[in-house]
């Protein structure tokens, strides 16, 4: 017979919350794949730039602009939701050991609420900024070739929004450890 936490975990994977959890996990897995593809593309782009520059004295045009305006932005913001879900964000656990189960549960819910609000505000503000760059058609010049940068401005609001969704789901999901008494 399974433990009570196994029963809770099974119950959470069925019903409406289970559907949301499965959708969230699928989306986060897709983001992990996109992040991995971005890392491989970044490596191939830089390797080809260095190889061509050193062998044929002809670098790949706009490498610096593409790396700084696309790859780095993607690698910084796409994994936010995955980091939140996996518990990889920075945590300060100075008082956690002193809290009882109910206080710990309340602390976790309060942190999730504050995180959701902050991520939501960041998503809103960065989305407004991305709309402005879209309307302006923001670009950088690389060897007199315009490289549009406005699409990359939509990555931060996407990352912040998905992180807000993950932390919001944490508010309503039942925790299987440190349950309140």
pLDDT tens readout for residues 83-114? 888 887 877 778 878 888 888 888 889 999 99
Does pLDDT of 6 surpass 70?
no
Q: For the segment 117-133, what is each residue's pLDDT rounded down to a tens digit?
A: 999 999 999 999 999 99
Rounded to an integer, the average pLDDT of 7-32 is 71
Does pLDDT of 4 surpass 50?
no
Residue 12, pLDDT score: 52
Residue 179, pLDDT score: 47
CB 36 within 8 A of CB 30: no
Residue 43, pLDDT score: 95
Rounded to an integer, the average pLDDT of 50-67 is 92
Residue 2, pLDDT score: 45
Residue 10 or 144, more confident? 144
Residue 29, pLDDT score: 85
Position 165 confidence tier, pLDDT thresholds 50, 70, 90: very high
Q: Percentage of residues in the chain with pLDDT exceeding 90?
A: 43
For every residue of 67-131, DSSP letters joined together read IIIIIHHHHHHTTHHHHHHHT-S----TTGGG--HHHHHHHHHHHHHHHHHHHHHHHHHHHHHHH
Q: Which residues of 114-131 are buried (b: 16+ CB within 10 A; e: fewer)?
A: ebbeebbebbeebbeebe
Residue 1, pLDDT score: 43
């Amino acid at each position: 017979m399974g433990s009570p936490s196994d029963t809770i975990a099974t119950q959470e994977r069925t019903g409406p919350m289970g559907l949301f959890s499965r959708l969230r996990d699928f989306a986060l897995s897709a983001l992990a794949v996109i992040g991995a593809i971005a890392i491989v593309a970044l490596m191939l782009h830089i390797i080809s730039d260095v190889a061509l520059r050193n062998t044929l004295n002809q670098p790949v045009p706009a490498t610096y602009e593409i790396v700084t305006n696309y790859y780095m932005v993607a690698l910084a913001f796409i994994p936010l939701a995955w980091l939140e879900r996996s518990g990889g964000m920075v945590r300060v656990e100075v008082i956690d050991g002193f809290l009882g189960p109910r206080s710990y549960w309340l602390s976790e819910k309060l942190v999730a609420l504050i995180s959701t609000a902050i991520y939501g505000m960041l998503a809103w503000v960065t989305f407004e900024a991305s709309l402005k760059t879209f309307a302006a058609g923001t670009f950088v010049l690389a060897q007199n070739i315009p490289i549009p940068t406005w699409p990359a401005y939509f990555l931060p609001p996407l990352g912040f929004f998905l992180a807000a969704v993950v932390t919001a789901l944490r508010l309503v999901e039942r925790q299987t450890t440190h349950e309140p008494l």
